[in-house]
Structure 1
Amino acid sequence: MDGHHHTAHSVFPKVSTTGKKGKDQKSAKSAKKPRKAEVNYLPPYPTGENEESQEQERIQLLTEAPTNPNSNLTRDVVIRCLIVYLEESLDHVLKRYDDADEDSVSQDLTVQRMKIYSIKTNTSDCPDDVGIVVEGMKVLAALGNFPRACSMLLGLTYAVNVANPKELRYTFEVFQKFLLELDCSKLSPKVNSLKNKTASLGKWALAK
């Protein structure tokens, strides 16, 4: 996600948010709104990061998964617990198909607005396919696991003009503003409370 996202910084000009009065203000009102699949907004790098450091982190994440499956399990549990803690539902982001026939899965995916899907047709613990569907169309497949699919889904919301699922507004706010430090100047009370509790827990752990 980070690699695709920040590569765009070198291709597209920075978005100016400074408003001006008079003719400039009038022009701003008449500016063309982005259509679906057009770049909508490219947020700044997190504090202390640049394109090179983000690319190194992206490579590390991609190479870590095959050699350390426990890391994926940990991330999976953390994300699921986060959603529950924020009083939101996993069903709003993940659609599981266990032992379902291909036709039924394909038909059901066409009515999904924006979901991560997990298809498993055998008795193994690992799904056959994990991907993302947007407006009834598969846009990404073979992502391997739920945590990676979450990161890709977050990248999609930034790369194209797709709004975050309103049923998961707090979960995506944590991803964007708390974990990635994108547009983190203003947090909702619920996410700000989580941030303060996390900071307090970190201080307690250091003091032990």
Structure 2
Amino acid sequence: MKYKAYPSDSNLSDVCQALVVKHPCLKEKGSETGFSAWKISLKYKMSNYRGKLKNLGCSELVINSLKRRGNSNVHPNQVKKPRRAEVNFCPDYPAGETRESQEEERLVLLSEFKKKNNDETIKAKMAQTFPHRRQEILQDMPFVADFKSRWPALFSPREINAEFQRITTVPLTSTFMAQLDNNTTKLTKVFRNKGGTSGCKITEIMAAIDENDTVAMRRVCTLKGLAVYLNEDPNSLIKEYQDVDFHEAESEMEKTLIGIYVIKPEGERDLDPAEDIGIIIEGVAVLRDLPDVATAVVLLFGLIYTLNMSYPSNLRYTFEFFQKVLMGLDAKKLSNKVQVLRNKLLE
């Protein structure tokens, strides 16, 4: 069982309730829940356990021991802990490895990355340096441009999928696409019942499927309709540009904090394939030449986990739906808006 450094009250309640249901002899007499004392005891035991692990150098706990008065580099309320069901949030270095030895491996990885037909070696080096890369993200919080120059091999669809699975143990693209396709029919029915301005926008978006009924078109229309249904603007996530206005588009991209860009040929229909699809983070195009918009959305979701970023505030419900409904990560705690939509999908 993977150790979780910060168990919540709900998790402890679930554990205690499962114990007393499976073993009725453990139920406390006179307790309203039947496990109040068990819960308090477990909280103290976990607190003592965390203290022992911290003294032994557990990275997930030591990282927060730097939070002390007098250290101007650390915000007093900044606690780094898993927020989105990350199983390997801050892994320890492997036995016999140190920060210095892993930094040497990173330099070897840089040289290997410049070679052609070297995918298997890069894959092995990326897996080996995962703890070093993760601790660098959590402790140093580098800018994306700097981090990409240090770890260029990470910014590829294959490695983003691998990194996401290292962090959450859940496959990224296969799970996301399968769940999206499974829920497309139900989402379409829910969209049809939406009225008002949002309903008109969704109808306009979904009309593209009638002209070009492909898997890629269904996926992107469903994703855009989902954002509108949750009262969020899909255009703030997916930004479309004409190739003739490329210089103007570049200046706008540099101001984009996070999003997906789509470059389309001049005078072509909206249904025609794009010239380029990519992902922008902090004004940097971290991925280019992606096959379709849905794939770009999936990889952007994976990069948010990989780089330990917060969801965009103007798209937080859309990304919450991705995480908790499609990916099933921390699915017990949902906002009211996402919970209502999920209930409609289960009807």
TM-score, with structure 1 as normaliser: 0.71
- Alpha-carbon distance in 2 for matches of 1:23, 1:105: 52
Say whether residues 1:144 and 2:132 are aligned partners: no
Instruction: Please report how far the alpha carbon of residue 43 of structure 1 lies from its aligned counterpart in structure 2 after TM superposition.
Output: 2.5
Deviations 1:143-187 (A, max 9, x none): 122111100110101111221111000000110100110121211
Range 21-30 or range 112-121, more displaced: 21-30
- Alpha-carbon distance in 1 for matches of 2:277, 2:324: 26
For 1:126, the equivalent position in structure 2 comes to: 273
SS at structure 1 position matched to 2:214: helix
Query: 1:57-206 alignment to 2 at 5 Å?
Result: 57=174, 70-124=214-268, 125-200=272-347
Unaligned runs of 5+ in 2: 7-45, 55-60, 68-79, 81-137, 152-162, 179-212
Instruction: Please report how far the alpha carbon of residue 55 of structure 1 lies from its aligned counterpart in structure 2 after TM superposition.
Output: 8.5
For 2:168, the equivalent position in structure 1 comes to: 43
Say whether residues 1:20 and 2:28 are aligned partners: no
The correspondence for 1:29, drawn from 56, 61, 64, is: 64
8 Å Cα contact 1:97-1:118 kept in structure 2: yes
- More helix by proportion, 1 or 2? 2
Q: Which has the larger radius of gyration?
A: 2
* Greater RCO (CA < 8 Å, at least 6 residues apart): 1
8 Å Cα contact 1:92-1:115 kept in structure 2: yes
Unaligned runs of 5+ in 1: 1-13, 46-53, 62-68, 201-208
Instruction: Please report how far the alpha carbon of residue 81 of structure 1 lies from its aligned counterpart in structure 2 after TM superposition.
Output: 0.9
8 Å Cα contact 1:44-1:182 kept in structure 2: no
Instruction: Please report how far the alpha carbon of residue 44 of structure 1 lies from its aligned counterpart in structure 2 after TM superposition.
Output: 4.3
TM-score, with structure 2 as normaliser: 0.44
Closer/same/farther in 2, CA of residues 44 and 188 from structure 1, 3 Å limit: farther
For 1:205, the equivalent position in structure 2 comes to: none
- Alpha-carbon distance in 2 for matches of 1:115, 1:144: 16
- More strand by proportion, 1 or 2? 1
Instruction: Please report how far the alpha carbon of residue 16 of structure 1 lies from its aligned counterpart in structure 2 after TM superposition.
Output: 3.0
* CA-based RMSD: 3.1
Range 190-199 or range 14-23, more displaced: 14-23
- Alpha-carbon distance in 1 for matches of 2:219, 2:172: 20
* Number of aligned residues: 172
SS at structure 1 position matched to 2:231: coil
- Alpha-carbon distance in 2 for matches of 1:119, 1:186: 37
